[in-house]
């Protein structure tokens, strides 16, 4: 059978780079051909953080970042193909998640805004590009997120109960019940608060292995105060982002604890992520295996906290299921592009709250 090549692009809430992956969908399971991580230039990284601040409403900045991200994503694709020595004409389509700068699913007119001009990507790569995957789901009454549980069900389903846990900037879980039931939602902060706090006290954007946070002690009063936020007890469907869990939110809580040491804040934020994840998993199962993907897998302190709170579950990487943890979400957007091209519905109404399943995405032709 001839190859069916698609490219997936993912730039998540953590804004730590653009993941690009070339995938062949001609077999029963997707086969990764090549991967590439494109760094985000520092000036664009700074502008994206400004743009993601809920207080920012600069339309010029939005437009400039949209084009700049489009060019960056196109560069990621071209570098991926160059490293793989594969011509663009061999690729059917690109699926681009885009960079989320605002996710507001609970407004009277809900919306989710991802930038990274898909027409620029198509023109500069000469490959059809499919983007704006969230809009159709929102138009159908859904939250537009999370979208990856549909991919998780298609790839990771089994005769055993499983939890797929993605720890990016925001953490989300997918429940894959052995009898076929599927649910999924954002549990709350993953790495985003940890990264923001770390970058205020160190050079660099993240706490490697959670080493700094591991030197601190959890402040129970601060933890209880943060966990009192209504999001943590909201029923699904639910999704969130930097619009809620940001540095202003953290500083508001810290104003009540002026003497707390910085490393203790980091330890408490790791505990917040661990508790908000495991409390939701326990509602579904106390012993299902948990397979982790996303950058949080590499925070050994956080993984240890998760395992301590789920003693009867085996916590491991999605690599044990055949897909490298770093690339799961990028592969998911290659799969969403594959679904678009083949007329396959790719949202799960039980997850997002949409009133029906739909083919997601908008086509931006290369020609």
**pLDDT tens-place string over residues 77-100:** 999 999 999 999 999 999 999 999
Q: Could you give the angle at the alpha carbon of 209 between the alpha carbons of 207 and 213, nearest 5°?
A: 55
Region 295-313: what's the mean pLDDT? 96
Cα–Cα distance for residue pair 33/275, rounded to 1 Å: 37
Confidence (pLDDT) at 1: 66
Residues 6+ positions from 122 with CB-CB distance below 8 Å? 94, 128, 129, 364, 365, 366
Cα–Cα distance for residue pair 199/203, rounded to 1 Å: 6
Confidence (pLDDT) at 80: 98
If one counts every other C-beta atom within 10 angstroms of the C-beta of residue 287, the result is 10
Question: Do 249 and 196 meet the contact criterion of CB atoms below 8 Å apart?
Answer: no
Handedness of CA 102, 106, 107, 110 (dihedral sign): positive
List Cα–Cα distances, 310 to 158, 282, 288, in angstroms: 21, 8, 9
Confidence (pLDDT) at 326: 94
Q: Could you give the angle at the alpha carbon of 160 between the alpha carbons of 157 and 163, nearest 5°?
A: 65
Confidence (pLDDT) at 54: 82
98 forms beta bridges with: none
Confidence (pLDDT) at 13: 78
Residue 95: phi and psi, rounded to 5, are -110, 115
Region 195-199: what's the mean pLDDT? 95
**Digit-coded pLDDT (tens) for 325-362:** 999 999 999 999 999 999 999 999 999 999 999 999 99
Token pair, residue 25, equals: 């969908």
CATH of 148-321, one of 3.30.420.40, 2.40.30.20, 3.40.50.1100, 3.30.450.20: 3.30.420.40
Region 254-272: what's the mean pLDDT? 97
- pLDDT exceeding 70 applies to what percent of the chain? 100
Confidence (pLDDT) at 205: 84
Give the global pTM: 0.94
Nearest Cα residue to 70 out of 43, 96, 35 = 96
- Indicate the pLDDT class of residue 53, thresholds 50, 70 and 90: confident
Pairing of the two strands 91-104 and 5-11: parallel
Cα–Cα distance for residue pair 251/247, rounded to 1 Å: 6
Nearest Cα residue to 321 out of 126, 215, 165 = 165
Q: In what order do the strands lie in the sheet with 315-317?
A: 182-189, 170-176, 162-167, 289-293, 315-317
Length of the chain counted residue by residue: 367
Confidence (pLDDT) at 122: 98
Long-range contacts of 49-53 (CB under 8 A, 24+ apart): 49/15, 51/101, 51/115, 52/15, 52/100, 52/101, 52/102, 52/242, 52/246, 53/242, 53/246, 53/248
Token pair, residue 17, equals: 């780079």
Region 234-254: what's the mean pLDDT? 95
Max mean pLDDT among 82-86, 177-181, 200-204 falls in: 82-86
Question: Do 132 and 330 meet the contact criterion of CB atoms below 8 Å apart?
Answer: no
Cis ω before 175 (30° cut-off from 0): no
Assign domain 5-145+327-364 to its CATH superfamily. Answer: ATPase, nucleotide binding domain (3.30.420.40)
């Amino acid at each position: 059978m001839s190859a069916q090549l698609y490219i997936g692009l993912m730039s998540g809430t953590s804004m730590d780079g653009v993941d690009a992956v070339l995938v062949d969908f001609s077999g029963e399971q997707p086969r990764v051909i090549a991967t590439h991580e494109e760094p985000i230039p520092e000036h664009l990284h700074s502008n994206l953080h400004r743009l993601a601040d809920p207080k920012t409403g600069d339309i010029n900045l939005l437009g400039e970042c949209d084009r700049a991200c489009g060019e960056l994503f196109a560069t990621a694709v071209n570098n991926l193909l160059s490293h793989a020595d594969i011509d663009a004409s061999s690729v059917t389509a690109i699926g681009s998640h885009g960079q989320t700068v605002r996710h507001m699913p609970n407004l009277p007119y809900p919306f989710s805004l991802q930038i990274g001009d898909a027409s620029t990507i198509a023109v500069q790569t000469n490959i059809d590009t499919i983007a704006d995957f969230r809009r159709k789901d929102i138009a159908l009454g859904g939250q537009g997120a999370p979208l990856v549980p549909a991919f998780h069900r298609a790839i990771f389903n089994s005769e055993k109960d499983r939890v797929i846990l993605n720890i990016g900037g925001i953490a989300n879980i997918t429940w894959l019940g052995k009898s076929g039931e599927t649910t999924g939602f954002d549990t709350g902060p993953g790495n985003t608060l940890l990264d923001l706090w770390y970058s205020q006290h160190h050079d660099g954007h993240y706490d490697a292995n959670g080493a700094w946070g591991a030197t601190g002690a959890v402040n129970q009063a601060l933890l209880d105060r943060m966990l009192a936020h209504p999001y943590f007890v909201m029923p699904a469907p639910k999704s969130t982002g930097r619009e809620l869990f940001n540095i202003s939110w953290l500083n508001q809580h810290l104003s009540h604890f002026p003497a707390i040491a910085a490393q203790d804040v980091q330890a408490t934020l790791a505990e917040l992520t661990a508790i908000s994840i495991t409390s939701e998993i326990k509602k579904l199962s106390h012993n299902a295996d948990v397979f982790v993907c996303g950058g949080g897998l590499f925070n050994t302190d956080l993984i240890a906290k998760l395992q301590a709170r789920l003693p009867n579950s085996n916590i491991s990487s999605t690599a044990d299921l055949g897909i490298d943890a770093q690339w799961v979400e990028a592969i998911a957007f290659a799969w969403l592009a594959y679904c678009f091209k083949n007329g396959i519905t790719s949202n799960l109404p039980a997850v997002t709250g949409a009133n029906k399943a739909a083919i997601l995405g908008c086509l931006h032709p290369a020609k």
